[in-house]
Amino acid sequence: MLKNRRVVLKSRPVGIPQAEHFEIQSTDVPEPGPGQFLVKNLYLSVDPAMRGWVNAAANYSKPVQIGEVMRSFAAGRVLRSNDPKYPEGTLVMGMLGWQEYAVTDAGAIRRTIRETDLPVSLSLGVLGLNGLTAYFGLSTIGQPQAGETVVVSTAAGAVGSIVGQLARRQGCRTVGIAGGATKVRMCLEEFGYDAAIDYREPGLEDALREACPNGVDVYFDNTSGPISDTVIRYINTRARIVICGTASIPSWEPWPDGPRVDRHLLTKRATMTGFLAFDHEHRYDEAVSHLADMIRKGELRYREEILDGLEAAPGSIADLYAGKNLGKRLIRLAHE
């Protein structure tokens, strides 16, 4: 019988999950029941959103329970199937969890991977949640117009780097904010930002003012906290602020204080909108097809940071919040 190794939640973190909150268990792989199928995971995803999934607070999804397999996106191949829509050999991406094998049904699958000319790992990054988040957050809320200025925080990250490239392609001036000289260089040299700012250096506000001589029309934020507090002061009338993540705030229980933004939103007639790519699932194929075409034409660059083996998973979230990763972080379990 096939053995499955899986990462389960051992204790509930407050704030950022660390390696010690998880443990690796070994179990038998059950046979898929009626309508179910067995997937061999090839890549597991590591995403900042996973912090929210294990925190106890009411969130946009039910928290992972102690003893449960860590919820995650994963990409894999169907090995055995009782669902004719997912025959053996199909590549799928979905909520398959941090484990080597998943017995599941169609409900967990986000999409079938049809762009088999491209690496399957992309389905978890630039063609996965990250790309979809960038695509839908920017197009439905940011709504950038040619000539506008778009500021992106975590600008070299898996989402931010795509936002910057999509906005630039639409004729916007793009300004990236990232932590450290390496990421600033990536912003300028790999991701084509018109300007990039290292928020760890002093003088963020001066640098921002200089980089945005015409103010800020779209702010795509993944940080909250002091970076946002600075950027919001430079928004233009009718600016759109996309709230995509809050990486700089370690805990939201209780909600931390910061400058009240409502009067500024009022005088600027600006809007601040929270956003989750999940809400656009009915349009995933459209977005993937658009992004995959850009990749094939060499118009969209991305970075992956691949860790090998299930043992790398438990400690892999904390690094994201420390800003240690360069590119979309993945766990590789097997080669295609």
- Copy the structure tokens of residue 199: 């928020």
DSSP codes joined into one string, 127-173: TSHHHHHHHHIIIIII---TT-EEEEESTTSTTHHHHHHHHHHTT-E
Q: At what angle do helices 181-189 and 160-169 cross, to 10 degrees?
A: 30
DSSP H or E run through 316: helix 316-321
What is the closest distance, in whole angstroms, from the C-beta atom of residue 226 to a copy of itself in the complex?
A: 11
Cα separation, 79 vs 62, in Å, equals: 29
Which CB atom, from 191 or from 275, has the smaller least distance to a copy of itself? 275
What is the closest distance, in whole angstroms, from the C-beta atom of residue 229 to a copy of itself in the complex?
A: 9
Which CB atom, from 96 or from 239, has the smaller least distance to a copy of itself? 239
The binding site for a copy of itself (CB under 8 A) comprises: 52, 58-60, 221, 224-225, 228, 237, 243-246, 249, 252, 254-276, 279
Which CB atom, from 40 or from 51, has the smaller least distance to a copy of itself? 51
Could you tell me if 226 and 249 are in contact, meaning their C-beta atoms sit under 8 angstroms apart?
Answer: no
What is the closest distance, in whole angstroms, from the C-beta atom of residue 263 to a copy of itself in the complex?
A: 5
Other beta carbons within 10 Å of 291:
26
User: Residue 254: is the preceding peptide bond cis (ω within 30°)?
Assistant: yes
- Copy the structure tokens of residue 237: 């009338």
Which CB atom, from 80 or from 278, has the smaller least distance to a copy of itself? 278
What is the closest distance, in whole angstroms, from the C-beta atom of residue 109 to a copy of itself in the complex?
A: 23
What is the closest distance, in whole angstroms, from the C-beta atom of residue 137 to a copy of itself in the complex?
A: 11
Which CB atom, from 253 or from 293, has the smaller least distance to a copy of itself? 253
Which CB atom, from 64 or from 244, has the smaller least distance to a copy of itself? 244
Torsion of CA 313, 104, 288, 53, to 10 degrees: -50
Residues 154, 156, 157, 159, CA torsion sign? positive
Other beta carbons within 10 Å of 3:
10
What is the closest distance, in whole angstroms, from the C-beta atom of residue 221 to a copy of itself in the complex?
A: 7
Which CB atom, from 16 or from 313, has the smaller least distance to a copy of itself? 16
What is the closest distance, in whole angstroms, from the C-beta atom of residue 275 to a copy of itself in the complex?
A: 6
